[in-house]
Amino acid sequence: MKKNIVIANWKMNPQSAQEARRLFDTITKGIRRVKKTDVVICPPFVHLPDVKSVRHTQKVFLGSQDIFWEEKGAYTGEISSRMLQSFGVTHVIIGHSERRRWLGETDEMINNKIKTALKAGLVPILCVGEWVREIPGEIPDIVENQVRSALKGLKKGDFKNGIIAYEPVWAIGTGRPETPDNAAKAALFIRKIVRDILGKKTAEHIRVIYGGSVNAENAASFISKDIRGMEGILVGGASLRADDFIKIVKSV
C-alpha cells in the first residue's frame, strides 16, 4: 500500500546556512523512527548541500522548489535537473502559486518543467489551485485547466509516480485552510481528470495531497481513510518550526 506523504516547502527561508542546518538537523532527528509516512523537505537551492550533511535518516527525501526545463546552457540564474540530482534531490515542486504569481510562470513553462523532471527521473510535485474562493466546495474550472495543461503531451504511465498538490491560493499562509471534506472532494475531482488524460492506472497510482494553512492541529484531518482521497500534505509556514513539523509528520 502507498504511504502518505508530508512535504515541507521552506520557501525563501531560513536566512543562513547555519539556521538551515539546525532546522534540518532537528527535524530529521525528530522523525527518524517514523516508518509509515514519506517525508520530503524542500529547502532553497543554496541550502541543499548544507542540509544534506546533517541528514539523520536516509528516509527523508530532499526536494527542490523549482527546476528549469532545459538541461544545460546559457540560462542565467537557472538550475538544471542534473545539478539537483548531484545534491541528492529526488522530488521537485513545480508550478507553485507563488512562482505563477511573482515569476510569471505560465502553464506552458510548467508543462515543460514537468516533462524535464520526469525525463530525469525526478518526482514532480505539481501545484494547482484557484486564486479566490468562489462557491465553497465547488472546484473551479481553473484547477482542471491547470492539471490538463501541466500534463499535456505525456504518455500513459509517464506520471504514475507523480504528486499533485491541491493548494487553493486563498488558503495559503492565511490561517484559513479548506475544510477536509472539500479537500477530499478536490482529490476525487483531480483524480478523475488524471484518469481522463492518462488512464485509470496512473490515476490510481499518483498521490493527491493538500496544501494551505496546514498546522500541527489540523494536519491529520486532511488525510483520507478512503484511498481515493488526500494522501498527504504540503506544508509551508509550519514546516519552519521544527516542533510543529515533527508533530505534523507524527500525526499523519
In the complex, the residues that contact ligand PGA under the rule CB under 6 A are 9, 167, 172-173, 211-214, 234-238
Among 122, 124, 127, smallest CA distance to 88 is for 122
- Residue number, 194 or 235, with CB nearest to ligand PGA: 235
Shortest Cβ 139–ligand PGA spacing (Å):
18
The residue at minimum Cβ distance from ligand PGA is 236
Shortest Cβ 240–ligand PGA spacing (Å):
9
- Residue number, 195 or 215, with CB nearest to ligand PGA: 215
d(CA 167, CA 126): 10
| 167 carries an active-site annotation | yes
Shortest Cβ 31–ligand PGA spacing (Å):
18
Residues in the annotated binding site = 9-11, 173, 213, 236-237
- Phi, psi (rounded to 5 degrees) for 42: -115, 90
- Residue number, 9 or 81, with CB nearest to ligand PGA: 9
| 71 carries an active-site annotation | no
d(CA 229, CA 51): 32
Evaluate the omega torsion of the peptide bond into residue 140 and state whether it is cis, within 30 degrees of 0: no
Residues in the annotated binding site for substrate = 9-11, 173, 213, 236-237
Cβ atoms of 244 and 216 closer than 8 Å: yes
d(CA 233, CA 209): 5
Catalytic residue IDs: 96, 167
